A and B are shown apart, each in its own frame.
Chain A
Amino acid sequence: MTSVSTQPLGRLTRPARRGASRSTARRRLAPGRPVPYGKALGPLLLLAVWSAGSAAGLIEPRSLSAPWTVVTTAGDLIEDGRLQSHLAASAQRALLGLLFGTAAGLLLALLSGLSRLGEGVIDGPVQIKRAIPSLALVPLLILWLGIGETMKVVTVSLVVLVPVYIHTHNGLRSIDNRYVELSETVRLSRWQFVRHVVLPGTLPGFLLGMRFAVTATWLALVVVEQVNATSGLGYMMELARTYGQTEIIIVGLVVYGLLGLASDGLVRLTERKVLSWRRTLAG
């Protein structure tokens, strides 16, 4: 406690200093303006390292083919139509699974969120289902449904169902009770209440669930297509593995990545469109 410690106090007592306006400016807590194409920075850097490593011969082509090999292989695969047909097979499974899984998750969430009886009957089993990794059910599903398309679509549906249910149900349960009271005082019917209050109030939760669901869809697809299939991206990669064609495996990975990004982007775009009434950090 000597004269040194009085220094900061001394500074505070000089409000008329020229630089004072800077020290009184509010600290900005939101992350600030986005850097243009900022999100492309990381991937581009990775690509550069990969290219440099391959060109310098530091990366063994049998472990990781060079980027240009991957590009030409992709070109060949597209030319002979193999990539498209595998992609179509995968996309069909993904879309069907997503459709059934979302519909089931949404319906179950609404039933269990809107009635105590529904919650008693539905919530328990879904929570149990959630505790078991969906992919661990694949052996059982093969026994029940065989190894055909049905099994694959059902697996994807089950994987999709869980996040859609959890987030929708959570969104529904966290609708402010004050809105429920309001609905009672303006005497909404049950259906009007669902339409004007429950569904819009649940939408943010549902869309969050969808984002998890689309990511999970592609994950489930990889697994079921590598277990037993004669078409699809996973099959194409599995086949390439047996022949040691690293470049085809990488093409498959890149396509999976692009699909994942595109579907996530699609859900986010929808989010921005339908949730325009919200003002959040994302702006």
Chain B
Amino acid sequence: MAADTRGLTRTKRGRAAVRIHGLDRSFENRKVLDGLELSIREGEFVALLGRSGSGKSTLLRALAGLDHLVDGKGVLSAPDNVSVVFQDARLLPWKRVLDNVLLGLPGPDARERGRAALAEVGLADREEAWPVELSGGEQQRVSLARSLVREPELLLADEPFGALDALTRIRMHELLRKLCERHRPAVLLVTHDVDEAIELADRVAVLEEGRITADVAVGIEGPRRHGTPEYAALREGLLTRLGVEAQDRPILEEAHA
């Protein structure tokens, strides 16, 4: 594992929720994942960055067990109880909001738990609505509720906020962080957005040419704000890893200085 510490602390060792060793995945003989190594501790929040087409979704789908037809090998251990949040909310249009949350949920108290989950994402009063009647952000909150009501040990999210506007996205970050603090699943969040990664994650990994080429702990104590030197340094390092040269970037740091 090539670690890019850039003056930041390495991740501490703990019980692993996910362990990936030598994972290969290829499409038509083109290797997308090539001997990938990654582990995620219980309750740890990992953000995965990478350029478009670098194989982030491929990795996530492998973890979710959704890649039946893809060639590949490798060792991959993940908990039984995995939940996925997709980029689109993926609600069944013919089921009301609460029934979407309850989809496939066993147990006599399922309804109660579903209601509680909807209340947690702030949609207690919309349980009888049809999905088409919700805004994009509300739909994504329902999909979060559907994932969390299953009390997953591992939450996989593939650009869950990619389709939302900037304001809604900020609120969703807040919500996701609170929910994760309360439920403590291990999280793998795929994102394009370096700031999203730094704000939410305990660790940020960069996927490049089929491997994790950077894996840094976000060691910032307290609120993570633009303009603090740690934040700027981390952001700088990650952007460089992603191949965005300094002169191409908007000058965010100076505006705060």
As a 0/1 sequence over residues 172 to 212 of chain A, the CB contacts with chain B under 8 angstroms (1 = contact) are: 00000011011111111000100011001101000000000
Chain B, interface residues (CB within 8 Å), range: 20 to 34
A-B contact pairs, 17 of them (CB 8 A): A178-B86, A179-B92, A182-B86, A182-B103, A183-B103, A184-B65, A184-B66, A185-B65, A185-B83, A186-B83, A186-B103, A186-B105, A186-B150, A188-B104, A196-B104, A200-B95, A277-B130
What residues on B are CB-neighbors of A276 within 8 Å? 130
Find out whether the CB atom of B90 lies under 8 angstroms from the CB atom of A196: no
Across-interface contacts of B94 in A (CB, < 8 A): 200-201, 203, 277
Per the bound structure, the CA–CA distance linking A279 and B103 in Å amounts to: 22
B84 within 8 A of A: yes
For chain B residues 109-160, which have a beta carbon within 8 Å of chain A? Answer: 130-132, 146, 150
* Closest beta carbon of chain A to B99's beta carbon, Å: 8
Nearest-Cβ distance from residue B186 to partner chain A, whole angstroms: 16
CA distance A182 to B87 in the complex (A): 12
Distance in angstroms between the alpha carbons of A57 and B82 in the assembled complex = 81
A197-B90 contact, Cβ under 8 Å, with A185-B82, A185-B84? no
Task: List, in ascending order, chain A residues with CB within 8 A of B92's CB.
Answer: 179, 182, 196-197, 200
Contacts from A to B (Cβ < 8 Å) = 178-179, 181-188, 192, 196-197, 200-201, 203, 276-279
* Chain B residue at minimal CB-CB distance from A188: B104
- Say if the beta carbon of B93 comes within 8 Å of chain A: yes
Report the minimal beta-carbon distance from A215 to chain B, rounded to whole angstroms: 26
Asked if B62 lies at the interface with its beta carbon under 8 angstroms from chain A, I say no
Interface contacts beyond A182-B103, A196-B95: sample of 4 additional A-B pairs, CB < 8 Å, sorted by A: A185-B65, A186-B83, A188-B103, A276-B130
CA distance A185 to B62 in the complex (A): 12
Contact partner, B66, options A181, A197, A200, A277, Cβ 8 Å: A181
Distance between Cα atoms of A197 and B84 in the complex (Å) = 18
Q: Any chain A CB within 8 A of the CB of B64?
A: yes
